[in-house]
Amino acid sequence: MPFIEEDNLLDLYKKIDKSEANNLRLQDQIFYKNKELSKNVKQRNVFGVVGLICIVACAIIISFSLGVKNTVDKLKATSEDKVVVPIDSLESLKNSVRVLEEKNEQLNAVRDFYLARNLLDGQKIFAVQISAIEQSHLSLLPLSLSNMQLVRNNGFFSFSLGIFETLQEAQNFRYELVKLGFEDVFVVSYKEGKRIQIEEPY
């Protein structure tokens, strides 16, 4: 058997210790390099997935915007200035228009009434008297008519239609009423709500 001297044995132990220390250092370096490499791989995978998601999202947005643009272009081409409105909205608009028309008619009636009263109060106006009734029959009259005058005269209420600024307008209206079958209608003049006189029929 070969024989090893103590100095050589000591050197051998030192070399083994040194090799073990180098081995541990290399294992630590390998461990840290593997850890760093694993971290880099994870980051690369995360960036790859995020990048892929961004690319897919951009593709979806671009295709959606192109699809919307194509749809809008098709609607413009097919509708040719037609407005697409839901049926509920259209019905509500029709109802609103109907209500506004009714209110407009009511306002016109009120305006005509006040215009007629102002004419009656200030200047000489003409009307066509169609009837004279007793007070007991007064409740039968439709007092909502705006171009109607009801004037008390000698215990009777004379019922006249129209408010005309000129005698000729009143005479023309009387002529039309006679053509419709009204008898005993005549033109009268009023000033400040009182009858002045019976005017010439023609």
The domain boundary, picked from 84, 105, 140, lies at 84
Has residue 98 been placed in a domain? Answer: no
Q: Are residues 80 and 6 in the same domain?
A: yes
Percent of the chain topping pLDDT 90: 8
Q: Is the pTM of this model over 0.85?
A: no
What average pLDDT does the segment 48-57 reach? 84
Q: Range with the lowest mean pLDDT among 10-19, 54-63, 82-91, 188-197?
A: 82-91
- Measure the CA–CA gap between 84 and 79, rounded to whole angstroms: 8
8-state DSSP, 144: T
Give the model's confidence band at 107: pLDDT under 50 very low, under 70 low, under 90 confident, else very high. Answer: confident
Is beta strand 125-133 parallel, antiparallel or unpaired with respect to 148-153? unpaired
Please name the residue that has the structure tokens 């994870």: 42
- pLDDT band of 176, cuts 50, 70, 90: very high
Cβ within 8 Å of residue 126, ≥6 positions away: 162, 164, 165, 166, 167, 169, 170, 187, 188, 189, 190, 199
Domain count, the chain: 2
Residues 134 and 185 in one domain: yes
Give the best-scoring range by mean pLDDT among 1-10, 172-181, 187-196. Answer: 172-181
Q: Indicate whether 10 and 52 sit together in one domain.
A: yes
For residues 73 and 20, membership in a common domain is answered with: yes
Assess if residue 124 is contained within a domain. yes
Specify whether 78 is located in the same domain as 137: no
Mean pLDDT of 32-45: 85
Q: Report if residue 94 sits inside a domain.
A: no
Same domain? 80 vs 28: yes
Q: Do residue 77 and residue 129 come from a single domain?
A: no
2 shares its domain with 80: yes
**Domain for residue 20, yes or no?**
yes
Q: 186: domain CATH number?
A: 3.30.70
Whether residue 96 lies inside any domain: the answer is: no
Q: In which domain, by residue range, is 130 found?
A: 118-198
Q: How far is CA 186 from the centre of its chain?
A: 53
pLDDT, tens digit, 9 for 90 and up, residues 120-151: 566 888 889 888 777 655 555 555 555 677 77
Q: Considering 63, 84, 105, which residue would you say is the last residue of a domain?
A: 84
pLDDT tier at 106, thresholds 50, 70, 90: confident
Among the candidates 33, 64, 84, a domain finishes at 84
Burial 46-64 (b: 16+ CB within 10 A, else e): eeeeeeeeeeeeeeeeeee
Question: Are 77 and 124 contained in the same domain?
Answer: no
**How many angstroms separate the Cα of 43 from the Cα of each of 29, 48, 52, 57?**
21, 8, 14, 21
Q: Is the pLDDT confidence value at 37 over 80?
A: yes
Alpha carbons 202 and 196: distance in angstroms, whole number: 18
Residue 95 within any structural domain of the chain: no
Q: 98-104: long-range contacts (C-beta < 8 A, 24 or more apart)? A: none
| Spacing of C-alpha 37 from chain mean position | 62
Residue in the structure block whose two tokens are 């210790």 = 17
Containing 148, the helix (H) or strand (E) segment is strand 148-153
Residue 174 binned pLDDT confidence (cut-offs 50, 70, 90) = very high
Whether 1 and 79 map to the same domain: the answer is: yes
